[in-house]
A and B are shown apart, each in its own frame.
Chain A
Amino acid sequence: MNRRQFLQTGGALVVSFSIPARAQKLPGALDRSPQLDSWIRIGADGGITVFTGKAELGQGVKTALLQIAAEQLQVDMQAIKLVTADTALTPNEGYTAGSNSMKDSGTAILNAAAQAREILLAEASKRLGAPVTAQNGEAVTADGRRISYGQLVEGKLLSVRAAPESKLSGARRFVGKSIQRVDIPAKVTGGVAYVHDLRLPGMVHARVVRPPSYGAELKSVNTEAAAEMPGVIKIVRDGNFLAVVAGREWEAVQALRALRAGCTWTEQAKLPRDVYATLAAAPTQDIVIADAPPVSGKVIEAAYTRPYQLHAAIGPSCAVARYESAGLTIWSHAQGMFPLRGAVAELVGLPAERVHCIHLEGSGCYGHNGADDVAGDAALIARALPGKPVRVQWMREDEHAWEPYGPAMLTKVRATLDGSGNVSAWQYEVLSNTHSTRPGKAGDLLAGRYVEKPFQPSPPRPLPQPEGGGDRNAIPLYRFPSRVTNRFIPEMPLRVSALRGLGAYMNIFSIESFIDELAQAARVDPVEYRLRQLEDPRAREVIKLAAERFGWNAYKKENAPQNGHGRGFAFARYKNLAAYVAIAMEVDVERETGDVRVKRVVAAVDSGEAINPDGIKNQIEGGILQSISWTTFESAMFNDTRITSRDWSSYPILRFSHVPTSVEAHVIDRPGEHFLGTGEAAQGPTAGALANAIAHATGVRIRDLPLNRARLKQVLAA
């Protein structure tokens, strides 16, 4: 039964008699943190605090959660204080990742707030001897008698375990509306918005001297020049970990340069010359995640590649740490405060209970970037300067060279076609490293690996389906039977971890490119070809909507490329569990230079119930542009020993000149449906649509990412 059906029954709390309430699964993250007052607290003064274990990453989750809570508690959004991931205060919701925030935290808060409201109203009704309704933080009887929430809450009223089901308010004062984001005003007026803005009394500034390459050893360091520089307070060395601390930030930067110049490193890294050959030859653990018997018929096959790609956050990672006898406090923008706490505690040798990790925003991280590592750096340096808040800011070169990258991947696909050109059997394999090396443990933090007594990193492991890692979205949603193999490679030539979408970006690029190749072989329009083999009605609806709003049929007649102009289409349901996205776009390709300009993009998205439709649009538009950048520009560069993509000049990304003329996202709102994660849903279909548009524009199919100028020129000239 979904929420809408439940609301229509108009029932009160429903308790199932066949299964003990305790054993029933609680909605969303309530299951892991079942106490209501882990999520909602009301003070005697009526002040309402809502707690979430998730973090604001710029995706608008704070606003969406406030909308949900305000709706169910029937108060104004401004009346609620929202506390985000904090190991001392909030539930442990793991990482803010996988586009799970609305599904997990949103669902938990939806139900917790509804249940809290009902408990308060029941208490009010008891005291006032009459039925009551909730109005602006008060319970009010028909004849106007009222008690505020603050007066109702006494002792442990909300210290109860959540129930498996809730009486949800059907009000839509906030939900379903594009309420303006609560964090934007501060960001555009110079308010304190990020961990980078934290200024504590007595705070000092540190910079870490990172090695020139993976595994390099600090043979010797002459600290004289740096130690004598103005403002330098301390130089911290522990094995190959080296940092300098100064009173002022610019002093720290200057000292960093001097210290770096005094270092001699022994380098030993051996980076692969031919990434794809190296990965293809590496030992694998093969996991069949979907199976179907082979079938005979006409066979078409293709192989695709994707290079290492960077998160490359605009704001290099930053953390502040203070080490005191009572314990260690860290302010960090990492995606998981609780996992970070464990790793840092191990790193500095403290029990976890004495480490307090507080999330403050960073710039967009798009997955596991340097945020956890810099927190580790800060902890180590703070331990060397007890009592002093230590702020560590990574330099641009640190972030580019040391963050874990999105792994390079290879895919192979093979389809058997029936007489009509439809797929009768499908075989797919994806070759990839792990897509998560998140802490975890001290050995998963850079500092942990470079200290004198290094910690061991967690062994790499494949993330299981249905979420998946390299095999995320490897199983096509289409209705044909498929055999899909996840070929997991434990050995990692470069440092890798989760980059937004994980394997979905590459798998959807591969699948959707290949579907177009099959459509072409069958001489069927690409949109029509997809609809023929897709049964999921919500999938069909986004496809039709995107095609209609784009004006796809107007292009149907022309299959020949016209002067480098073309259009392409792609579809996917993120993780086959989350949001549905279909994208159509048109591009211009300049053959002589290989330059690709995306002109117009039209997307349709179904995220279930849209708490904040504009928030969904923002994420989809952003995902489209980010994916255009990945797909047409990006691959990490390195030589035999060192990463050479160290700043924006050596890792160029999308600039305004290549921003499409227009990007539209059309949201299908389904009130009452489950919330479907949206933050990572656009990247894969964008890559597919772009590849298909380029193929249409040039008549040439390119299967190796990125589809950049050099590759296009090379392929088109051949």
Chain B
Amino acid sequence: MKLDVNGSVHDVDADPATPLLYVLRDNLSLNGARFGCGLGQCGACVVMADGEAIYSCTTPIAVLEKRKIKTLEGLGTAEKPGPMQRAFIEAQAAQCGYCIPGMMMRAQALLEKNPSASDAEARAALQPHLCRCGTHTRILHAVARAGELMKGKS
């Protein structure tokens, strides 16, 4: 099966019923999407498909063949971090960091549609996501900052 992930098309050898999460991690060795629950309850696995945030733990690759999938790795690299990544580093918005990629992808989906999302809109968008370390307030600051960076403000 062919999957378009972060702009590259991969020929993936996996049962079409396999949830995307396992294909990303095991077949493509991508670390961004994480296993938090496998039940769509925590958001740690969230990536983007055609600009929409999806739970990779409950989405089989069978439905993603023609979609453009974007993961954390598609937002930038350690050498050249993208605006969302720069914002999270600037805000030091992480403690253990396990929930953060999912938060960033949901925030990315939000800001790509609505670059001026308010704090209330960000909270509503992130409602499906859990953070156990209590980094929520920093995450919200980082999302606001990412919005500014994406709009070209410095």
Contact = CB atoms under 8 A, between A and B. Distances in A.
Contacts of A614: 92
Q: Which 9 residue pairs of A and B lie closest in terms of their CB atoms, listed nearest first?
A: A58-B96, A625-B134, A363-B98, A187-B97, A622-B134, A364-B96, A396-B37, A190-B73, A648-B41
A196 interface: yes
A315 B22 contact: no
Nearest to A315: B98
Interface residues of B, number: 56
A282 to B, nearest CB: 31
Nearest to A396: B37
B29 to A, nearest CB: 6
A191 B130 contact: no
Interface string A240-255: 0000000011100100
A366 interface: yes
Interface stretch (A7-15, A147-155, A178-186, A378-386): A178-186
A189 B73 contact: yes
B133 A364 contact: yes
A446 B68 CA distance: 43
B132 A364 contact: yes
Contact of B134 (A183, A312, A626): A626
From A186, A250, A366, name the one whose CB has the most chain B CB atoms within 10 angstroms: A250
B88 A184 contact: yes
Given A315-B44, A625-B136, A647-B41, 13 more contacts: A60-B95, A184-B88, A188-B85, A190-B71, A190-B72, A248-B14, A313-B98, A315-B36, A315-B96, A648-B37, A648-B39, A653-B132, A659-B140
B150 to A, nearest CB: 15
A298 to B, nearest CB: 40
Interface in B63-112: 71-73, 75-78, 81, 85, 88-89, 92, 94-101, 104
B101 to A, nearest CB: 7
B15 A250 contact: yes
A261 B94 CA distance: 39
Interface string B41-74: 1101000000000000000000000000001110
B130 A648 contact: yes
Interface string B1-37: 0000000000000110011001001100111101111
A621 B94 CA distance: 11
A701 B34 CA distance: 42
A57 interface: yes
Contacts of B29: 199
Interface string B131-152: 1111111101000000000000
22 contacts: A181-B94, A188-B88, A189-B77, A190-B71, A197-B31, A230-B15, A250-B15, A314-B99, A314-B131, A315-B44, A315-B98, A316-B35, A396-B36, A396-B38, A614-B92, A619-B95, A622-B95, A625-B134, A628-B134, A647-B41, A655-B130, A656-B129
A668 to B, nearest CB: 20
A316 B71 CA distance: 21
B133 A189 contact: no
Contacts of B72: 188-190
A247 to B, nearest CB: 10
Contacts of A619: 95
A623 interface: yes
A527 interface: no
Contact of B138 (A60, A250, A618): A618
A361 interface: yes
B38 A395 contact: yes
A649 interface: yes
Interface of B: 14-15, 18-19, 22, 25-26, 29-32, 34-39, 41-42, 44, 71-73, 75-78, 81, 85, 88-89, 92, 94-101, 104, 123-124, 126-127, 129-138, 140
A314 B94 contact: no
Contact of B92 (A57, A181, A655): A181
B85 A189 contact: yes
Contacts of B85: 188-189
A188 B44 contact: no
Contacts of B73: 189-190
B66 to A, nearest CB: 22
A393 interface: yes
A624 B134 contact: yes
A192 interface: yes
A362 B29 CA distance: 18
B94 to A, nearest CB: 5
Interface in A603-628: 614, 618-619, 621-626, 628
B25 A249 contact: yes
Contacts of B41: 396, 647-649
A111 B126 CA distance: 45
Given A188-B104, A189-B81, A364-B98, A621 B134 contact: yes
Nearest to A686: B134
B95 A618 contact: yes
B133 A184 contact: no
A184 B137 contact: no
A59 B97 CA distance: 10
Contacts of B127: 655-657
Contact of B123 (A250, A647, A657): A657
B78 A314 contact: no
A663 interface: yes
A196 B31 CA distance: 9
A626 B132 contact: yes
A358 B13 CA distance: 32
A160 B129 CA distance: 51
Contacts of B18: 250
Contact of B31 (A192, A230, A647): A192
B78 A184 contact: no
B94 A622 contact: no
A190 B30 contact: yes
Contacts of A662: 137
A454 interface: no
A362 B129 CA distance: 18
Nearest to A181: B92
A193 interface: yes
A638 interface: no
